[in-house]
Structure 1
Amino acid sequence: MIHSAPSPKIPKTYLAYLFDLDGTLVNSEPLKGKALALACQDYDSTTDYTIYQDVMGQDWPTVTQHFFAAANIKPDLNEFNQHFRLHYQTLLKEQLRLSKNLLPYLEHLAKLNCKIAVVSSAANWMIEQVLTQLKLEHFFDLIISQEDVSQHKPHPEAYLTALKKLNIKAKDALVFEDSFAGISAAQKAGCDVIAIRHEFNIKNDMSAAKTCLSDFKELLD
């Protein structure tokens, strides 16, 4: 059962709005799980893609080892990553969707005198494909990816890096996250956090977020 915060109206306007990518801007979390399972299948092993729920938001070595253990395989990681990438890119092209009413909310923010950024632990190629495919690139002033940091969420490095590059204080930034690791990272950086609920993050504790929602329309009403 998901642990979540209530959903009050956001009481202030921020100078920066920082968005995680997977599960926050788009529905890519289950697609990532499916791609991992398909990559395992390439090694003649079957595993349930929903086991990704157990490690969602954690670093890639933890995620892949979780699948390797479940599938009882010991592939070369670089080779496995190539299999994963091919499957994931295909699934993104076929099934990628924006989170509910994200586009109107981004259009709303674009009219404000604020900064908007993507702060993700995903590899740069993943972020680029998602933003390009859905024609979102023009909304964002900054993109922080896996390649820009040495510490994965829940370490706050990604958010601290974004704040520094945007020249924004933590108290003036609002973060959107869909995992316990992401929420923890943003809070350690000193930012307020809104948790995004979806069907795939039911095992993540959202109770520390300022509020929790499943539809960005709740911020436009």
Structure 2
Amino acid sequence: MSDHLPIQAVAFDLDGLMFNTEHVFFLSGDALLQRRGKTMTPDILRGMMGRRALEGFEHLSSHLEKPEDPHELWLESQEIFRSLLQEHLKPMKGLFELLDYLEELDIPKCVATSSPRPYLETLLVQFDLTHRFPISLTAEDVTHGKPHPEIYLTAAEKMSVTPERMLVLEDSETGTKSGVGAGAYVVSIPHEYSNYGDFSSARFIADSLTDARVLDLFSPQHS
């Protein structure tokens, strides 16, 4: 007997879930801090991960000897980030396979990210994914950023499903809490930069986007 209702839609986080941007972000954040005589630490990164840009850089600023304007820090970080993207950016394992699988089953999907829309569009264009995500939600589309559940409640509404019938795929503790708070079926897929988080509220922790347990959520015995 299944312990959940049939999954009817999927909401993807972006950074660290679809692409290895958390690795690039770590490199750019470390470069930013090194200019100020510091280095990126798990504590700093954890406080930034999954949040909207200004909220994340407010956290980074609090770790500086002399706090700086979060917006200025973000702008500087973006310059470094863009310079590293071409060399380091890669899709996460199983991304295209899972998208193919969902499209075969005609299951609606969306991206729900704390990142700004121009940034999302840049990544989707680079990997020719824009047409595969007709629905997307970004930092500009919500009043409250993750871990608030607003973005995933909105995602369910946009895809015309109830939250409990929507699978949320997340890599961070912040995003996991957001999905759980919305009442969605949340699967966490942490990586080396997020695996120290608390994922106890997720239904389970997967190894990759094509973990057999993720694919099994769409099999007939779960309907």
TM-score calculated relative to the size of structure 2: 0.85
Distance 1:122 1:10 in 2: 33
Distance 2:85 2:103 in 1: 26
| Amino acid in the other structure paired with 1:97 | K
Q: Which residue number corresponds to residue 135 of structure 2?
A: 142
Superposition deviation, residue 156 in structure 1: 0.8
Considering Cα pairs closer than 8 Å and 6+ residues apart, tell me whether 1 or 2 has the greater RCO: 1
Bigger shift: residues 101-110 or 32-41: 32-41
Superposition deviation, residue 127 in structure 1: 1.0
Q: Structure 2, unaligned stretches of length 5 or more?
A: 217-223
| Amino acid in the other structure paired with 1:46 | G
Q: Which residue number corresponds to residue 208 of structure 2?
A: 215
Distance 1:168 1:123 in 2: 25
Q: Tell me if the contact between 1:47 and 1:70 (Cα under 8 Å) persists in the aligned partners.
A: no
Out of 26, 39, 56, the position equivalent to 1:48 is: 39
Q: Which residue number corresponds to residue 184 of structure 1?
A: 177
**Pairing 1:6-155 to 2, within 5 Å after superposition:** 13-41=6-34, 44-51=35-42, 52-55=44-47, 56-155=49-148
Q: Structure 1, unaligned stretches of length 5 or more?
A: 1-8
1:161-210 per-position Cα deviation (integer Å, ceiling 9, x unaligned): 11112211112210001112211111111110010121111221111111
Q: Tell me if the contact between 1:53 and 1:203 (Cα under 8 Å) persists in the aligned partners.
A: no
Q: How many residues align?
A: 211
Superposition deviation, residue 147 in structure 1: 0.3
Q: Tell me if the contact between 2:137 and 2:151 (Cα under 8 Å) persists in the aligned partners.
A: yes
Distance 2:5 2:192 in 1: 28
Distance 1:204 1:37 in 2: 20
Distance 1:79 1:170 in 2: 37
Q: Tell me if the contact between 2:52 and 2:115 (Cα under 8 Å) persists in the aligned partners.
A: no
Superposition deviation, residue 76 in structure 1: 3.2
Q: Tell me if the contact between 1:100 and 1:214 (Cα under 8 Å) persists in the aligned partners.
A: no
Distance 1:121 1:168 in 2: 21
* Shift in CA distance, 10/34, structure 1 to aligned 2, threshold 3 Å: farther
TM-score calculated relative to the size of structure 1: 0.85
> Which secondary structure does the structure 2 equivalent of 1:70 belong to?
coil
**Pairing 1:144-183 to 2, within 5 Å after superposition:** 144-183=137-176
CA RMSD of aligned residues (A): 2.3
Q: Tell me if the contact between 2:113 and 2:139 (Cα under 8 Å) persists in the aligned partners.
A: yes
